[in-house]
Amino acid sequence: MAAAPLKVCIVGSGNWGSAVAKIIGDNVKKLQKFSSTVKMWVFEETVNGRKLTDIINNDHENIKYLPGHKLPENVVAIANLSEAVQDADLLVFVIPHQFIHRICEEITGRVPKDALGITLIKGIDEGPEGLKLISDIIREKMGIDISVLMGANIANEVAAGKFCETTIGSKVIENGLLFKELLQTPNFRITVVDDADTVELCGALKNIVAVGAGFCDGLHCGDNTKAAVIRLGLMEMISFARIFCKGQVSTATFLESCGVADLITTCYGGRNRRVAEAFARTGKTIEELEKEMLNGQKLQGPQTSAEVYRILKQKGLLDNVSCDPCFIGSRPPLAPPASFSDSCVHLSCCLACLDTRL
């Protein structure tokens, strides 16, 4: 690791990425350990006739993905990815998980060999042998150590400075503590644990449960049914982690912000719940609802659902009772549900409604 000050680059500038940029930009101005300028890679778009990078750099606001929240002036938006990451000591990955392969291939070799990364990406990938964590993809492609950050963190609330907690998982604790120093504020409280794989899986799997919770809302099933969906979903998250995590899985990790707290928040206030509710009510495709409700951002729950189903099928676990109800139903069928009891009493009847056109 280079001597201080450490240069920081945020790879991504959506709703959550911009909220994190606000935190980091404010923090580095107070900490001599970090460079006072924070680079943020922005996928260039035209908004109201202006380049998004120009808007961010001149007006200090991401008016498309985080409107109403000013970014610190030391956060510099850069459209060229290679330029943004050049010589960065600390990389913060916050992009849709389906783009991680291309991003890593483009920036490999452009950062110091001893650079460190942290992923805020809530998703998983499929490799030849089944489950592939996003952190593993980054680690293998770039050869750098990767921590993960997951928690009950709705971006707009974080940007507004409302109190919340989050969890950093790091197999090298001192690296996790370094990112805690970079990111923690009085209203953004961080716990560091070494159960990094479980932390990361929680961030991906809770989106599937949130889709089920959204279906409950769309079908007017009531609070009792929704509570059952959340409880069953948590049990399935634990079962899935115990099967697929390489190391030991600590039940205590599920009691951190990355676990039960993030699950509750997502099932009541997250975008996956909102879009799933609209899907059940309107019959529109997920793609149509993304455009209407998410301002062009991608939903993670449906894609993660399909990936989990294929991973379970590949491993011959579709009939395994210990990981059955929540995730087997995540395979994509033809249409929104007409009622909660259309298929079966388990959570799979909620999650068996994702559109095949995803």
**Which residues are annotated as part of the binding site for NAD(+)?**
12-17, 43, 99, 155, 271, 298, 300
Closest-CA residue to 91 (of 123, 116, 114): 116
Token pair 């997920």 is found at 286
Burial code (b: 16+ CB inside 10 Å, e: under 16) for 71-92 equals bbebbbbbbebeebbeebbbbb
* H-run or E-run covering 192: strand 188-193
Task: Provide the phi-psi class of 19: left if phi over 0, else alpha when psi is between -120 and 50, else beta.
Answer: alpha
Residue 205 · residue 267 · CB < 8 Å: no
Query: Tell me, what DSSP letter sits at residue 185?
Result: B
From residue 234, alpha-carbon distances to 41, 207, 261, 285 in Å are: 34, 11, 11, 27
Catalytic member of 7, 22, 180, 206: 206
| Residue of 149, 243, 259, 235 lying closest to 196 (CA atoms) | 149
Closest CA to 208 of 341, 75, 92, 312: 312
Task: Give Cα 198 distance to the centre of its chain.
Answer: 14
Cα–Cα dist 336/58, whole Å: 44
Residues making up the binding site:
12-17, 43, 99, 122, 155, 271-272, 298, 300
CA distance 74 to 88: 15
Torsion sign, CA atoms 21, 27, 29, 34? negative
Measured CA to CA, the distance from residue 357 to residue 203 in angstroms comes to 24
What is the bridge-based pairing of β-strands 164-169 and 188-193?
parallel
Q: Which is it for strands 124-127 and 130-133: parallel, antiparallel or unpaired? A: antiparallel
Asked about 206 being catalytic, the answer comes back as yes
Cite the active site residues: 206
